[in-house]
């Protein structure tokens, strides 16, 4: 089983290119089959989850052609099968985007109930509520979500929670419905806006994405497009916090600084210098980190997907910090692993972590419980004294392209090892 072997202590220094946004790419891939014409997508991240989505498109008869590692040509023209039952799709959350895309275009969809990171209940009741409001019959049978409609009509839908997935899914289902759809209490994340922009480039008429009221005027059909996905704000934020934790000096390139504002603000608060330019942000951690409080919120609040990373940084910050997770019910599972590295954190009521900063982490063998927690444990290991081994790195590779290679380019002592012998070699090499 592949693992990361890490020798901590090196400050991360240098520049790193940020890839396309995973959570935009997954939805855009599903949406790309809504037209029979060819769609060219650039800045596609080459990660496990996007490749699972591409296999799923091929499994229903769509065509996928990779022009290079980050550019893909998709055509939904030859889609015949409305049932996505590809086994690997069960493991990812974004499979539900095929519901909105196929219901929107074919008025019928059958998709296995979504999987994804084990960070909470993760229901899809708001997706189903939106589809039903548009006139679809939706039922769950044998682990499948089946949605069908003789006709889809516009509707005024009020989301009970600000849900990224439900906002995007309902938006896709509505783009070819008859009449106008209004989505109230819509999610405002940059990837929601990116998907709306993509759909508009296919000929949809969507206004208000990025605010909490999105208006969609149904059109009869969609045409082809060429589109480049926005940079990944969470990949960028992960490297920014890696700079903070290793007392480094890292510039993340090919980013949209506006999307990183809440992350930059918190890094400033804990004592880092943050310099923004047009498409890059530099983080210098010259002083000891200091404590703060943070609560995860829907955009533009501090992202839940950055919660494990800031907790690792606060674990090394002088004083007592509090991190409150307000989006998911069970997103502190990794704290047990971090404790093995010497962190002093108490989780109360399931969604509040009280953190007493320690001077340093020590290397340990830990397992990644999910994607972002796994990345956070890597960051902790990069600062720890001694050698750490990170297990279950498949979770990390679902969402981070070339994670260990990019870290190595910044000076980290990290290798991907696949056997005890390779691990021993790493231990000998790094002493």
CB-based burial label for 22 (10 Å; 0-12, 13-18, 19+): buried
Q: Which stretch binds ligand EPZ (CB under 6 A): 31-39, 159-167, 245-253, 314-322?
A: 159-167
The residue (of 261 and 385) whose beta carbon lies closer to ligand EPZ is: 261
Chain centroid offset of residue 212 CA: 20
CB of 27 to ligand EPZ, least distance (A): 7
CB environment 134-168: b (16+ within 10 A), e (fewer): bbbebeeeeeebbbbbeebebbebebeebbbbbbb
- CA gap 315, 354 in Å, rounded: 10
121 contacts ligand EPZ (rule: CB under 6 A): yes
399 contacts ligand EPZ (rule: CB under 6 A): yes
CB-based burial label for 286 (10 Å; 0-12, 13-18, 19+): exposed
CB of 295 to ligand EPZ, least distance (A): 14
Sort strands 3-7 and 387-391 into parallel, antiparallel or unpaired: antiparallel
Among 75, 155, 163, 262, binds ligand EPZ (CB under 6 A): 163
Among 55, 77, 122, 427, binds ligand EPZ (CB under 6 A): 122
126 contacts ligand EPZ (rule: CB under 6 A): yes
Partners of residue 156 on adjacent β-strands: 182
- CA gap 71, 20 in Å, rounded: 11
The residue (of 50 and 388) whose beta carbon lies closer to ligand EPZ is: 50
Among 93, 105, 107, 188, binds ligand EPZ (CB under 6 A): 93
Contact string 322-351 vs ligand EPZ (x = CB under 6 A): -----xx-----------------------
- Set 21, 57, 74, 117: catalytic member: 117
Ramachandran angles phi, psi of 413, nearest 5°: -95, 90
123 contacts ligand EPZ (rule: CB under 6 A): yes
Q: Which of 209, 238, 242 is nearest to 303 (CA)?
A: 238
CB of 372 to ligand EPZ, least distance (A): 5
Among 18, 84, 145, 164, binds ligand EPZ (CB under 6 A): 164
Active-site residue flag, 272: no
The residue (of 125 and 418) whose beta carbon lies closer to ligand EPZ is: 125
372 contacts ligand EPZ (rule: CB under 6 A): yes
- CA gap 372, 262 in Å, rounded: 17
CB of 44 to ligand EPZ, least distance (A): 15
CB-based burial label for 38 (10 Å; 0-12, 13-18, 19+): middle
305 contacts ligand EPZ (rule: CB under 6 A): yes
Site residues (CB under 6 A) for ligand EPZ, limited to 211-270: none
Among all residues, which ones are annotated catalytic?
117
Q: Contact positions toward ligand EPZ, by CB under 6 A?
A: 22-23, 26, 93-94, 117, 120-127, 161, 163-166, 187, 189, 304-305, 327-328, 371-372, 399
């Amino acid at each position: 089983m592949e693992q990361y072997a890490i020798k901590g202590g090196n400050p991360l220094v240098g520049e790193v290119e940020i890839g396309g946004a995973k959570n935009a790419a997954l939805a855009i891939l599903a949406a790309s089959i809504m037209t029979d014409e060819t769609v060219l997508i650039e800045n596609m991240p080459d990660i496990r989850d996007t490749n699972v989505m591409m296999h799923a498109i091929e499994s229903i008869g769509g065509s996928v052609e990779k022009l290079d590692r980050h550019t893909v040509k998709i055509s939904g023209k030859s889609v015949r099968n409305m049932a996505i039952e590809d086994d690997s799709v069960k493991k990812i959350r974004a499979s539900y985007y095929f519901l909105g895309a196929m219901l929107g275009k074919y008025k019928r969809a059958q998709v296995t109930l979504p999987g994804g990171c084990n960070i909470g209940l993760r229901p899809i009741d708001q997706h189903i509520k939106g589809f039903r409001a548009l006139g679809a019959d939706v039922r769950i049978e044998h682990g499948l979500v089946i949605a069908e409609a003789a006709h889809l009509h516009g509707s005024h839908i009020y989301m009970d929670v600000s849900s990224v997935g439900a906002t995007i899914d309902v938006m896709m289902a509505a783009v070819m419905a008859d009449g106008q759809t209004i989505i109230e209490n819509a999610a405002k994340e940059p990837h929601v806006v990116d998907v709306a922009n993509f759909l508009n480039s296919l000929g949809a008429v969507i206004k208000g994405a990025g605010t909490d009221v999105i208006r969609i005027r149904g059109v009869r059909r969609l045409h082809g497009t060429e589109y480049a996905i926005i940079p990944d704000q969470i990949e960028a934020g992960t490297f920014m916090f890696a700079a903070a934790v290793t007392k480094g000096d890292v510039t993340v390139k090919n980013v949209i600084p506006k999307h990183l504002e809440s992350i930059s603000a918190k890094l400033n608060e804990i004592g880092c210098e943050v310099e923004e330019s047009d498409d890059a942000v530099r983080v210098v951690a010259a002083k000891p980190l200091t404590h703060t409080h943070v609560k995860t919120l829907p955009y533009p609040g501090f992202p839940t997907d950055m919660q494990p990373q800031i907790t690792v940084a606060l674990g090394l910050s002088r004083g007592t910090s509090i991190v409150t997770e307000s989006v998911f019910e069970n997103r502190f599972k990794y704290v047990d692993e971090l404790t093995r590295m010497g962190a002093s954190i108490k989780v109360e009521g399931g969604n509040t972590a009280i953190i007493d900063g320690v001077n340093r982490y020590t290397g340990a063998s830990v397992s990644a419980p999910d994607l972002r927690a796994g990345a956070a444990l890597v960051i902790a290991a990069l600062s720890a004294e001694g050698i750490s081994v990170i297990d279950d790195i498949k979770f990390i590779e679902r969402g981070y392209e070339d994670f260990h290679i990019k870290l190595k380019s910044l000076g980290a002592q990290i290798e991907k090892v696949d056997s005890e012998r390779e691990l021993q070699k790493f231990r000998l090499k790094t002493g």
